[in-house]
Amino acid sequence: MDLFAVIAERRILEAMERGEFDDLPGKGKPLNLEDEDPMVPEELRMAYRMLKNAGLLPPELELRKEILRLQDLLDAVRDEGERRKRRRDLDFKLMKLNTMRRKPVFLEGLPEYKEKVLNRLSR
């Protein structure tokens, strides 16, 4: 655990001991984290919620689910050839998602290409 996480954890525990969290609204109730996806632009959230309630997912969210599944699969694959294939699939889907969002490609999510791109840009 890094230093900031240790400090934050310690301060949270101290605040709990002082009772600073005792009167928070919703205490003892589960958090509903599914309603507001921070990756979905605010102006699209209502439409996405309606689609979700109808049992449909927008293409971006469907792709995000697939990316998460591929990341889990990649962690479990031990065969190097199969691992490379899965990594290529994952890289393609990450680039597709970034393109759908009209955001620049996030090189940290593509470690196999990061060095190549940086070398080419530094020429």
| Helix-, strand-, coil-residue percentages of the chain, each rounded to 5 | 65, 0, 35
Biggest distance spanned by C-alpha atoms of the chain: 59
Q: What is the pLDDT of residues 64-122, one digit of tens each?
A: 888 888 888 888 888 889 888 988 998 888 888 878 777 555 556 666 666 666 666 66
> Per the structure block, which two tokens stand in for 21?
């969290």
Residue that wins the pLDDT comparison between 28 and 104: 28
Domain boundaries along the sequence of the chain: 59-123
Of all residues in the chain, the percent with pLDDT exceeding 90 is 4
Show Cβ contacts of residue 15 under 8 Å, excluding neighbours closer than 6 positions: 21
pLDDT higher than 90, residue 17: yes
Name the amino acid, one letter, at 88.
R
CA–CA gap between residue 101 and residue 104 (Å, rounded): 9
Q: DSSP assignment, residue 40?
A: S
Q: For 59-83, what is the HEC assignment?
A: HHHHHHHHHHHHHHHHHHCCCHHHH
